[in-house]
Structure 1
Amino acid sequence: MTPIKQLACIWLRTRAMLAVVSACLLSACTSVPDGWQVVEAQGTLTPRHEAAFVEHQGVFYLLGGRRVNPVEAFDPATHQWTQRSSTPLELHHFQAVSLGNAIYIIGAMTGGYPGETPVDRVIKYYPAEDRFEFTHEIPESRRRGGAGAVVYNNKIYVVGGITDGHRGGYQPWLDEYDPVTGQWQALPDAPNARDHFQAVVVGDRLYVFAGRRSSQATGETFNLVTQYGNVFDFKQNRWLPVTKSLAVPTPRAGNMAIAWGEKVIIAGGESARQITAHNEIEVYDTRTGTWANWPGLNVGRHGSGLAIRDGYLYTVSGSGKRGGEPELSSVERLKLPAAKRSESSSTPAPVSETPSGAADSDKTQPDATLIHQRWHTLTLSFNGPMTAESATDNPFTDYRLTVTFEHKDTSYRIRGFFAADGDAANTGADAGSVWQARFTPDREGLWKYRAELGHGADIAIDDDPNAGRLAPLAESTGHFLVVPSDKSGRDFRAKGRLVAGGGYFQFAGSGEHWLKGGANSPENFLGFTGFDGTSLAATSAREGEAVRDNNMHHYKPHLRDWRLGDPVWGDNRGKGIIGAVNYLSAMGMNAVYFLTLNLGGDGNDVWPFASATDFERFDCSKLDQWEIVFQHMQSQGILLHLVTQETENERLLDDGDTGRLRKLYYRELIARFGHHLGLVWNLGEENGPADFSPHAQTDAQRKAMANYLSASDPYGHPLVIHTHSSAAAKHEILGPLLGLKALEGVSFQVDERQRVNAEIAEWRQLSRDAGREWLITMDEIGKWHTGALPDSEDPNHDSLRQHALWGAILGGAAGVEWYFGAHYPANDLSSEDWRLRHRLWQLTRIALDFFSSDRRYWDYRPCNERIAGEGAWNGYCGGLPGQEYVIYSPGDAKRVFDGTELSGGYTIQWFDPIRGGGLRQGTLTTLQGGALQSLGDPPDSARQDWVILLSKQ
C-alpha cells in the first residue's frame, strides 16, 4: 500500500471513530460498544427472512419466515442450534413475544407476495412441549400483518400493520389483547400509520420507530418510509405529541428493535435508497430524547429480530438485500457497553412527557418542535376564562378566539370556539375553561401561530380585529412542522381539500378531479338519538313533505357495520350512525346531504343550539359529537354536504337577513367544522318562495348571506344553494344570482326526470355566459312523493339510472345524490337503513367508476344532437369535441352517430351500465368521420341499455 493510501485509510478510520464519539456525546452515553462479532454456532440453521427472533426463558427462538420453516432454538451459552417442529402453516411478518410459558404469534401474514393474508387467529408456541396451538380469533376488522407487538402488564399490544399484504392498507391501529380471556380492545390510533417495523416498551410507554407504508399497488413498496416515531403512554392511555426529536436518523423498514434499559435500539432494515440491506444501529435515549450511532452490523439485514442475553445483543438470519434475497444464516453479536444500573435493569425508570434538557454540558436539548401532517386537522386547546353555556357573560357572543397561522407568505386567521372542558363529547360538559381552534394546514414546512381571546359585547360577530379587550389566554403562541400526509385511498387527507373550479370538484392537493355520488336522505341525518340535547321538537307535517314516524334516528340496521376501533363517545354511543357511514363508504358512495337546522321545518329534530328556543348559545357536547361523526366521514371519503337551513325556516334567523343571529350561526359552524377537507356549504334547501312556503328570503337576502358566508370561510369551500323543482322557479330565483362571485354552484332539484339533462346543460351555459361557471349537482330527484324507491319497489331503478344519473353527468353535472320519496317507507325523514337501496348504490358506483377511469368528463360538452333521431328518445351524448364521446343508449335506441363534421377514425367500445365491468367490443370496432353511421350492435343480444365510448384513433 502506498503512503498516500495508508494515510487515507488512517483518516477514514479516524473520522469513523470521531463520528461515533460525537454521537455518543450527543446522547450522553457512558461508552460505545465495540464492533459486532460473527458467532461460530453449532448445529443447523435454516436461512430465512421476515421471521421472528425472540428470547424465551434464556433461550433464543427463530420462528416463521417465508415458506414453512422449522422452529430453531439457539442456546446463547453454548452457541448450539436445535431444530424443532415446523410451523403449522406459512407464517411471516410478525414480531413474536414471550409471555408466561409460551411465545405468541400475533399480527402475522401467510401466503405469497404481494397479496399476503393476515392470519385470523392468535397462535401460541409452547417451547417446553414443542407444540403450536391456535387460540383466540382476531376480530375481522383488526386483522393485519407486519405489525409490532409488545407485552405490558401481562397483556399484548399490537400496533400498526397492513391489511392487504404489500399492496396497501397500512394502518395506525393500536389494540390490547388479553391472552387469558381473548378479549380485544381497540385503543387510540397512532399519529402515524406504518408496517414492517418492531415495537418496544420502556417503562410505561410503547415506542415505535421506522417502518413504512407499503403500497405495491401504486409502485411504492419501499418508498414511503415513516420518518417519525410515536410514543404511547399506557398510564394516560394516549399517544404523546410527535416531536422532531422522534425522527429516526436513518429512515427504513423491516428493521429490528429492542429495549435495553432506558434506550431503544433500532437495527438493520431496507429502503428504496439502497439495494443492500441497512446495517446501521441507532439508539434512542428515552430520558434525553437524543439519538446515538452504534457500530454497524457486519452484514446488513432486514426481516429478523434482536435478543439480549448475558450482556450481548444478538441478531440472526434475515435478508441481505432489499426484498427477499439472499437469505442469511449468520449469527452476530455485540458486547453491550458498561451501563448504569437503571440502564441494565428490567424495569426502566419512567420518563417525562416532554424530553428535558440534559444536566451536563455534553448533553443537548432535544428538538421539541411538534410534527404535524399536511391535510390533517390540528386542534389547539387554550386555557382561558372559566365560563359556561348559560353564563350571563355569553361565551358565544361576547368572546372571540382568533388564531393566526403563518407559513412564509401565507397567513390564515382562524376562528376558535368555547369548548367547555375540552372533552365535552364524552363528558357532556357545558362549562369549563378550554377554548379551541381547529386548523388544517395545506402546506409543508414550519408554521407559527398566535392566539388572541377578545372580550366585549357581541365581539363574536364584530370583524374589527381591534374590537373589545384581550382576555387572558395561556400558551398563546407556538410553532409546528408540517410533513407529508401518511393517508391513502378514500381518506380526504390523502389528496387535500375539495374546491370548485370550472364547474367541477377538484382536490387542491393533487389536482385530481372528483365526482360526487351519495345520499340525499334522510335529510335529518343528525336527528340521532345518540347526540346530546337531540329530541323531536314537533311532529306536524305539511302536504308535500315526508311524514316521519315520531321516532328519533337510531340506525339499528347499521350496528353490524360498526367495526372495532371505530369511534364512539360517552357511554359507548354512536355505533349506529358510524356504522351507517361505513356502509355507504363500502358501497363506493362519497357524499351525504344533511341539515344542521330544521326547526320549524320537516324534521324539527336538528339544531346546534343548547335549546330549541335560544339561538345565541350552542351545545358544546352535541357539536363535539357531530364533529366525531364528521371526522369519521372524512376518513371514509364522505363529503359533508352541510345544508344550513330549509325552505320552511329560511326566515327563522333575523327574519331572513344576515343579521346578528345568522352571523353568529355561520361563525360557529365555520369555527367548528370549516377545517374539514370535503365540505360544501349549502345556503338552504328549496330556497325561495313556493306555494307551500311563501314566507321566503328575497334576492337581496340570498345575496347577503352568500357573501357573508363566503367571506367568513378562510378555506374557500364550495358554496351552493338548493333549488325548487320546477324550471320556472329556477329562473325566478337563480336568475338574479348568476355571476355572483360568492356562489359557486347549485344543488339541483328536478321534478320531471326526463328534464334533468336539458336543465343542467342550460344552467351550465347560463352561468358560463354570466362569467361565473357554476358547479351543478343533481341532488333531489322528483317527484317529491316518489324519489328513489327501495330496491324492492324498483330493482334496477331504470329511470333514475337513465335520466338522473347518466343523463345528469353527460349534461354537465358534478355528481348526484339520491332523495327518498315522501310516500314510501324509509323516506326522507324516517329512513334508518341505507341497505334498502343497495342496488341503487351499486348502479351509482358503476357510473362513478366509469367516469373516474381516464375520462376527462370535466371537459365534456353535451352533444345530444349527434344521436338525435325521429320519434323515441335515443339517449344522451357528452364528450370532448373531436376527441371522445360517451353515449348513453337505451335498449330501444337507434344507435346511429352523426359524424358528418368529424374527420379521422374512432374506436367503438361498449360498457354495461347495469352490471359494470370493463370496456367490450360490439359488432363494429371503428367509425370513420364524415358521415352519419351506425354504431353496430352491442357485445351480446341482451335488449338493454348500453354506454358507447367513441375515442379518436
Structure 2
Amino acid sequence: MQHLQTFITYVAVTVLLTATQTYAQEISSWQILETVGQPTARHEAAMVSYKGKLFLIGGRRINPVDVYDPATNTWTEKSKTPIELHHFQAVVHGDAIYLIGAMTGGWPRETPLEKVVVYYPELDQFKFVHSIPESRRRGGAGAVVYKDKIYIVGGITNGHWDGSRPWLDVYDPVTGAWTPKADAPHARDHFSAVVIGDKLYAAAGRTTSQKTGQGFDLTVAHCDVYDLKKQEWLSNDSPEIPTQRAGNMAIAIDGDLVVGGGESVAHVKAHDEVEVYSPETKTWSRLPNLNRGRHGSAFAIIDNYLYTASGCGNRGGKPELTSLERLKLPAGHNNGSPTKKLHTKTLSFIGPQTAEDDDDNPFTNFRLNVIFKHAASDRTFEVRGFYAADGDAANTSATTGNVWQARFTPDRSGDWTYQATLRHGTDVAIDDEPNSGTEIELDNAAGRFTVTNTTSDDVDFRNQPGRIVAKDGYFVFEGSDKRWLKGGTDSPENLLAFVDFDGTFRMQASDRDGEASTDEKIHRYESHLVDWKQGDPTWGQSGAKGKAIIGAFNYLASEGVNSAYFLTLNINGDGKDVWPYLKPDDFERFDCSKLDQWEIVFEHMQSRGIMLHVQTQETENETMLDNGDTGRLRKLYYRELIARFAHHPALVWNLGEENGPAEWTPVGQTPEQRIAMADYIKASDPYKHPILMHTHADSHSKDELLTPLLSAKSIDGLSFQVDQPESVHSELQKWIARSTKVGHRWMITMDETGPWMHGAVPDSEGGEHDGLRRNVLWGSLMGGAAGVEWYFGAKHPHNDLTSEDWRQRKRIWELTRIARTFFETHLRWWEMKPSDDLLSSKDGYCLSKPGEVYVVYLPVAGENRSLDLGKETGQWSVAWFNPRKGGNLTPGTIAIQEASSSFELGLPPDSGFEPGDDCVALVRKK
C-alpha cells in the first residue's frame, strides 16, 4: 500500500500546483502504447500476466489468444479458443491459466460452461478438465487463487436474462472437487474479484435483468469482503464504491483494491475512472483516469506497470477496442500483498514544495521522525525520514517535489501504529532535541497497518526469523538461535560507481602506487546483462536502467555469495567515483534520485540473500568531514544513510576502510574519534545493526590502532585485513582472545587478504587457489571468524576498482560455498573454539566442542595424524570431507575407535583425494 498511496497522494497534490502541473501529468498518466501488431478487437474477455507477458483470452466470438511481450513491444497471435468463451475472470495457477465461470453463446440468454477450461501457455493448448456441478454453473463471476485453491464468487445463471447469484465456491484444480461456501451478502455479476492478504474482495458489478429491461441499471453499491482464514463473510466490512459500475476491471496493488473502467446507465461512454480502496484506512482515493474508457477487459501487472487492453469503448457491445495502455507504478510495489514481516514499509508525507538545491536546505532544515508501535507489545521504533523529491525520483530523476518518506521493516506480525512529525528550522536535521524547530502539520501523520508473517527457509533476508545482529562474536538472526556465516565479495569496492546511477562519474583517473589503476570509465557490468530476469527491478522513465547490476547480483546469488562490500564515499580515495551527495564538493545536499536507485539495488540484494556491507568511508576520507570529528557534516551523512538504508534486515556498518593513519595518509582519525563515530551510529540506528571497523594489513598497525578500541562497546568487531595469508589464522585468534579478555568478544570477518597487489586473483591465474583456500578460507573459519569476503588484487585483471565480471572468480565462489555448506550442515560453529594444540602436528587447524565434536583441517592428506582427546571416553567416529569438491562425508581407513590422548585419525579414502591435497576430518562421539 505504501508505494501506491505515495503515488496517489503525489498525483492528487502536485496537479494542483501550477509550476509542476505539466510535469505531474507527464509522469502520472496512462500511456497508450504504439505496439508492433495489435490484438484482436474483443470485449467480455480476460487478460492475465504470465511469466512477464500479457495473455488476452476469449471474448465474444471465437478469438485467438493474443500475447503481448513488453520486452519487444510485440503482439503475437496464438491458438483460438475451442468454443466461444466470454464473461469470465481468468486466473493463473501453476503453469496454466484457468477459465472458470465463463459463458458461451449469444445475447441475452448465454449458456454457462459445463466444464473448467485450462489454457497451457507453453504448449499453446486448451483443455477441458473437471465438470462443474450443474447446480453451481454460472458466468460473469469473479475468480481468485488462494492457497492453491480457486474461489469463484457471484455470477449469473441465465446469460443476461436473469439469475444473478451471491454464490461462493471453492474449486480444487488438482482433484476437481467443488465445495460450496456461504453466500455473499450481495448477488452480483459482471465484475472482477481480488485477494488482499487473507481476504477476498468482490467489488462493483450488477444484478443483470434483461428480463425486466434492466440490463445496465442494477449496479451494486457495496463491496463484499470474505475472510479466507475464518471462512466467513464480514458483515461489518462492506465499503461503498464511489462510482457504481459493472464490467469493470479490478486488481490488488500494495494491499489496496484498485477498480477501473466499466459501464453503467450514468453515460453511454464506458467509465474511465480508476478508484483505490485502502483496507487499512477504510478510505477511497483516485488514480489517473484511463485514456480510453472501457469495459469487459481486465487489469494486469508486469514489472512496474499496470496494463489494460481491448474491451469495449461504450456501454453495450460497440466499439470493440484494440488499444493497450499502461500506468507506471512506483518502483518496489508489491502487487497486492499487505505488509510482511521484515519487508520494507514506505510511508510518504506531503510537506512543503522544495528542491535539492533550495536555499532552505531540505536535508539540514527539515526533520521527519516517525514512531512505530506494535499494538500487542511494547516494541517501539523511532525512525528518521528523508526528503524524497517527487516520491519517485529513481524513475523520474526529479530534484524537486514535496514528498518526505520514511522506510521501516516491522519485525513482528500483527497490528502496528505510526505517528509522524515534520519539523523545520536551521540544522534541525542533526538536532536531537525533540521540540527543536517548528512543527509542520501533516495530513496523514497517524495511521495503522497489519503485518503478516513470512518466515521460511528461503535465502531472502526478508523471510528470516529476524534481522541479522552480532552476538558473542557471530552473526545471528535476532530473536532466534539461527546463525549465519558470511561468504562474500569484497570487490570492486567502488561497486556503486555504476553508469546507470544518476550523477555518477569519476572525478579523475588514477595510477598511484599502492592502488589499482583507473581510467575515466565507470562500471557498466555488461557481461551480467544476461543474468537479469524478467520481473527483476529496473528504473528510469524507460524502465530499462539497472539491468546489468541487478543481473550481477543474480549471478552472485546463484553461486552462493551472500554478502557484498562496497563504499558509499570515496571522494578523496581510490576510484573517486562514489558519493551520496548532489555534488562531490557539497556535503550538505544529497542526490535523491541516485540514492533511490541505490535502494532498488539494495532491496534486490536482500531478496537474493546478499548482506549489505556498507563501507562508509575510505581511509583518505577520514578527516574530510569535520576534521574527523563526529560534528555537523558527519552527523548529517550518517543520519542520511541510516534514514534511507538502515531498514534492511541484513546490513553491517563499517566505520572506514583501513581506518587510521597510514604512510599514504599520515593524518587519520584518532581512537576517540572512531569511538565517537561508532557511538553516534549505534545511537542513531533504530535497528542496532552490527558496527565493524576495517583494519590495516600489518600486525604492528593493528596493535597500535585497535588496542585503544577494545573497551568500546559500540564497536561490535573487526573487518579484518591481513597482509600475508599465512598469518590469517593466528592473527584472528589473537584479537578474538584479546577482546574476549576484556569482556566484549569481537566478531571478526576476514575481508581482505594481501598482499595488496594480488589478493584473490582471477581463476585463470589462480587455478584451485590453494593458498587462499588453505590459509584464508579454512584458516579464518577454523580460527573463529564470522565469515570471509574476497578482495581482488590491484595488479591483476578485474581488480578492486575495475572489475566488471564476477565470473572471473567462479572457482572462489565455489570453494567458499563448499566451506560454508560444511559448517552449516555439520557444525554448531558458534559453540566451538580453536584447539590447534590438540593436533600432533602443527600444520593443521582444529576446532572443538569437547564431549561432542572435533573438526580437523589438514593442509596435506596422506599422512596419519593424531588428535589428543584427553579425558574423553567412549567410541568416536571419523569421517572425511573434501574441501575442494564438497559433497558427503565419507569414511577413511579408521571409522570408529576408542577415545585416547593419541587418537588416530587415519587416512581419508583413496576415492576423491589425491596425495598432497587438503582434507577435513570430522570426529564425533558415537
TM-score (norm 2): 0.70
**Is residue 722 from structure 1 mapped to residue 694 from structure 2 by the alignment?**
yes
Q: Distance in 1 between matches of 2:93 and 2:488?
A: 29
- Shift, 1:343, TM fit: 6.0
Alignment of 1:74-85 (within 5 A): none
Q: Write out per-residue CA displacement over residues 18-43 of structure 1, whole angstroms, 9 at most, x where no aligned residue.
A: xxxxxxxxxxxxxxxxxxxxxxxxxx
- 2:566 alignment counterpart: 594
With over 3 angstroms needed to count, the CA separation of the structure-2 counterparts of 1:358 and 1:287, relative to structure 1, is: farther
AA in 2 matched with 1:468 = G
**Is residue 353 from structure 1 mapped to residue 281 from structure 2 by the alignment?**
no
- 1:479 alignment counterpart: 448
User: Of the candidates 58, 68, 79, which is equivalent to residue 98 of structure 1?
Assistant: 58
- 1:411 alignment counterpart: 380
Q: Distance in 2 between matches of 1:535 and 1:403?
A: 34
With over 3 angstroms needed to count, the CA separation of the structure-2 counterparts of 1:395 and 1:129, relative to structure 1, is: closer
- Shift, 1:868, TM fit: 3.9
- Shift, 1:127, TM fit: 2.3
Q: Distance in 2 between matches of 1:463 and 1:201?
A: 61
How many matched pairs?
699
- 1:525 alignment counterpart: 495
Q: Distance in 2 between matches of 1:377 and 1:423?
A: 16
AA in 2 matched with 1:725 = A
Instruction: State which drifts further: 384-393 or 570-579.
Output: 570-579
- Shift, 1:520, TM fit: 0.1
Q: Write out per-residue CA displacement over residues 323-372 of structure 1, whole angstroms, 9 at most, x where no aligned residue.
A: xxxxxxxxxxxxxxxxxx9668995666731279899xxxxxxxxx9942
- Shift, 1:544, TM fit: 1.2
- Shift, 1:105, TM fit: 12
Q: Distance in 2 between matches of 1:281 and 1:890?
A: 69
User: Of the candidates 459, 467, 470, which is equivalent to residue 497 of structure 1?
Assistant: 467
User: Of the candidates 557, 560, 566, which is equivalent to residue 536 of structure 2?
Assistant: 566
**Is residue 127 from structure 1 mapped to residue 82 from structure 2 by the alignment?**
yes
Q: Distance in 2 between matches of 1:201 and 1:621?
A: 48
2:891 is paired with a residue of what secondary structure? coil
Alignment of 1:28-427 (within 5 A): 97-98=57-58, 101=62, 124=79, 126-127=81-82, 145=95, 209-212=144-147, 253-256=149-152, 266-269=168-171, 278-280=179-181, 283=184, 347=262, 352-354=275-277, 371-407=338-374, 408-427=377-396
Aligned-residue RMSD, C-alpha = 4.0
Q: Distance in 2 between matches of 1:95 and 1:716?
A: 46
User: Of the candidates 756, 759, 764, which is equivalent to residue 787 of structure 1?
Assistant: 759
- 1:72 alignment counterpart: none
- 1:299 alignment counterpart: none
Instruction: State which drifts further: 576-585 or 891-900.
Output: 891-900
- 1:139 alignment counterpart: none
Q: Distance in 1 between matches of 2:341 and 2:551?
A: 27
Q: Write out per-residue CA displacement over residues 608-630 of structure 1, whole angstroms, 9 at most, x where no aligned residue.
A: 00001000000000000000000
- Shift, 1:934, TM fit: 2.2
- 1:465 alignment counterpart: 434
Q: Distance in 2 between matches of 1:145 and 1:758?
A: 54
Alignment of 1:676-687 (within 5 A): 676-687=648-659
With over 3 angstroms needed to count, the CA separation of the structure-2 counterparts of 1:667 and 1:562, relative to structure 1, is: same
User: Of the candidates 569, 579, 593, which is equivalent to residue 551 of structure 2?
Assistant: 579
- 1:433 alignment counterpart: 402
With over 3 angstroms needed to count, the CA separation of the structure-2 counterparts of 1:125 and 1:876, relative to structure 1, is: farther
Q: Distance in 1 between matches of 2:367 and 2:188?
A: 40
Q: Distance in 1 between matches of 2:67 and 2:94?
A: 9
2:586 is paired with a residue of what secondary structure? coil
With over 3 angstroms needed to count, the CA separation of the structure-2 counterparts of 1:628 and 1:179, relative to structure 1, is: farther
Q: Distance in 2 between matches of 1:724 and 1:287?
A: 71
TM-score (norm 1): 0.68
Q: Write out per-residue CA displacement over residues 461-497 of structure 1, whole angstroms, 9 at most, x where no aligned residue.
A: 0000010101232211111111112765111111031
Show structure 2 runs of 5+ residues with no match.
Answer: 1-41, 46-53, 69-75, 86-91, 103-120, 125-137, 195-207, 212-243, 250-261, 265-272, 285-335
Q: Distance in 2 between matches of 1:503 and 1:649?
A: 28
Confirm or deny: 8 A CA contact 2:167 2:187 kept in the other structure: no
Q: Distance in 2 between matches of 1:258 and 1:97?
A: 21
Confirm or deny: 8 A CA contact 1:97 1:151 kept in the other structure: no
Q: Write out per-residue CA displacement over residues 382-418 of structure 1, whole angstroms, 9 at most, x where no aligned residue.
A: 0000000100000000100001111241221110000
Instruction: State which drifts further: 810-819 or 686-695.
Output: 686-695
- Shift, 1:702, TM fit: 0.6
Q: Distance in 2 between matches of 1:446 and 1:842?
A: 43
1:534 is paired with a residue of what secondary structure? coil
User: Of the candidates 539, 542, 563, which is equivalent to residue 512 of structure 2?
Assistant: 542
AA in 1 matched with 2:870 = T
**Is residue 665 from structure 1 mapped to residue 637 from structure 2 by the alignment?**
yes
Q: Write out per-residue CA displacement over residues 494-551 of structure 1, whole angstroms, 9 at most, x where no aligned residue.
A: 1031111011111125431000011000000000011000001122343211112331
Q: Write out per-residue CA displacement over residues 48-80 of structure 1, whole angstroms, 9 at most, x where no aligned residue.
A: xxxxxxxxx99x9xxxxxxxxxxxxxxxxxxxx
Q: Distance in 1 between matches of 2:785 and 2:660?
A: 22
**Is residue 769 from structure 1 mapped to residue 741 from structure 2 by the alignment?**
yes
Confirm or deny: 8 A CA contact 2:840 2:865 kept in the other structure: no
Q: Distance in 2 between matches of 1:737 and 1:208?
A: 62
Show structure 1 runs of 5+ residues with no match.
Answer: 1-56, 61-93, 108-120, 131-141, 153-176, 181-199, 213-251, 293-307, 312-340, 360-368
- Shift, 1:210, TM fit: 4.6
- 2:329 alignment counterpart: none
**Is residue 834 from structure 1 mapped to residue 806 from structure 2 by the alignment?**
yes
1:406 is paired with a residue of what secondary structure? strand
- Shift, 1:879, TM fit: 1.9
Q: Distance in 2 between matches of 1:637 and 1:929?
A: 41
- Shift, 1:902, TM fit: 2.1
- Shift, 1:801, TM fit: 0.7
Q: Distance in 2 between matches of 1:526 and 1:782?
A: 23
**Is residue 551 from structure 1 mapped to residue 486 from structure 2 by the alignment?**
no
Q: Write out per-residue CA displacement over residues 825-850 of structure 1, whole angstroms, 9 at most, x where no aligned residue.
A: 11000000000001110111011111
**Is residue 912 from structure 1 mapped to residue 879 from structure 2 by the alignment?**
no
1:825 is paired with a residue of what secondary structure? coil
With over 3 angstroms needed to count, the CA separation of the structure-2 counterparts of 1:656 and 1:129, relative to structure 1, is: closer
AA in 2 matched with 1:400 = R
Q: Write out per-residue CA displacement over residues 410-439 of structure 1, whole angstroms, 9 at most, x where no aligned residue.
A: 221110000000000011101100000001
2:363 is paired with a residue of what secondary structure? coil
AA in 2 matched with 1:145 = D
With over 3 angstroms needed to count, the CA separation of the structure-2 counterparts of 1:739 and 1:258, relative to structure 1, is: farther
With over 3 angstroms needed to count, the CA separation of the structure-2 counterparts of 1:265 and 1:287, relative to structure 1, is: closer
Q: Distance in 2 between matches of 1:286 and 1:723?
A: 70
Q: Distance in 2 between matches of 1:410 and 1:287?
A: 44
1:577 is paired with a residue of what secondary structure? helix
With over 3 angstroms needed to count, the CA separation of the structure-2 counterparts of 1:453 and 1:355, relative to structure 1, is: closer
Q: Distance in 2 between matches of 1:285 and 1:569?
A: 42
- Shift, 1:895, TM fit: 2.5
Q: Distance in 2 between matches of 1:435 and 1:344?
A: 38
With over 3 angstroms needed to count, the CA separation of the structure-2 counterparts of 1:661 and 1:178, relative to structure 1, is: farther
- 1:363 alignment counterpart: none
Q: Distance in 2 between matches of 1:179 and 1:920?
A: 45
User: Of the candidates 648, 654, 659, which is equivalent to residue 620 of structure 2?
Assistant: 648
- Shift, 1:101, TM fit: 3.0
Q: Distance in 1 between matches of 2:654 and 2:844?
A: 31
Q: Write out per-residue CA displacement over residues 533-587 of structure 1, whole angstroms, 9 at most, x where no aligned residue.
A: 0001122343211112331000011111111111111131111111111100010
- 1:454 alignment counterpart: 423
User: Of the candidates 873, 883, 899, which is equivalent to residue 852 of structure 2?
Assistant: 883
Confirm or deny: 8 A CA contact 1:862 1:879 kept in the other structure: yes
Instruction: State which drifts further: 485-494 or 389-398.
Output: 485-494
Confirm or deny: 8 A CA contact 1:106 1:149 kept in the other structure: no
User: Of the candidates 881, 887, 903, which is equivalent to residue 873 of structure 2?
Assistant: 903
2:782 is paired with a residue of what secondary structure? helix
Q: Distance in 2 between matches of 1:621 and 1:202?
A: 45
